[in-house]
Amino acid sequence: ATKATADRLEQEHQHQQELQRAKEALEQQHREALQAREVQEMQVRKLSVTLEQKEALLRQERDTFHTALQDREEMLQRLQSESAGLRSLSDQQTADLEALNASLAAVAADRDAVRARVAAQATALSDAEAQRAAATQE
């Protein structure tokens, strides 16, 4: 009976040692898992910071692009407005030039009419002088 008890005590002792080794192995695995988790959390924090920096840069680039786009749109509107003003001025100057040309044509027509009257009067005067000279000789 004592041999059986001793064997059983030995088996329990071996079992306790196996349990202790298994416990230590589990604790080691747990420590390693915690360390791995800490490393992963640190990597996540670094990636988060990097992501936040990139997002800030993208927001800044977007804002810069948006401002430049607004500036170009305003410039385009100013140029379109100036172009419309210049077209209106050009149209007015063209109308003024056409009116001036019409006025010049009317003056030229009046001049031609005056020349025709002067020529007719000169001819009538020459004829009258010729008739008087003929009448004086008779």
**Inside any domain, residue 43:** yes
**pLDDT above 80 (res 38):** yes
Residue 128 lies in a domain: no
The predicted pLDDT at position 73 comes to: 98
Predicted structure pTM score: 0.47
Higher local confidence (pLDDT), 135 or 120: 120
Mean pLDDT, rounded, of the chain: 96
119 part of a folded domain? no
Q: Is residue 74 part of a domain?
A: yes
How high is the pLDDT of residue 1?
Answer: 76
In terms of residue numbers, what domain contains 78? 1-98
Give the separation between CA 16 and CA 29, rounded to whole angstroms.
20
Instruction: State how far the Cα of 109 lies from the Cα of 102, in Å rounded to an integer.
Output: 10
Structural domain contains residue 129 = no
**What is the distance between the alpha carbons of residues 72 and 78, in angstroms, rounded to a whole number?**
10
Report if residue 12 sits inside a domain: yes
Rg of the chain taking only CA atoms, in angstroms: 58
Cα 127 → chain centroid? 84
Q: Is residue 4 part of a domain?
A: yes
In a domain, 130, yes or no: no
The total number of structural domains that make up the chain:
1
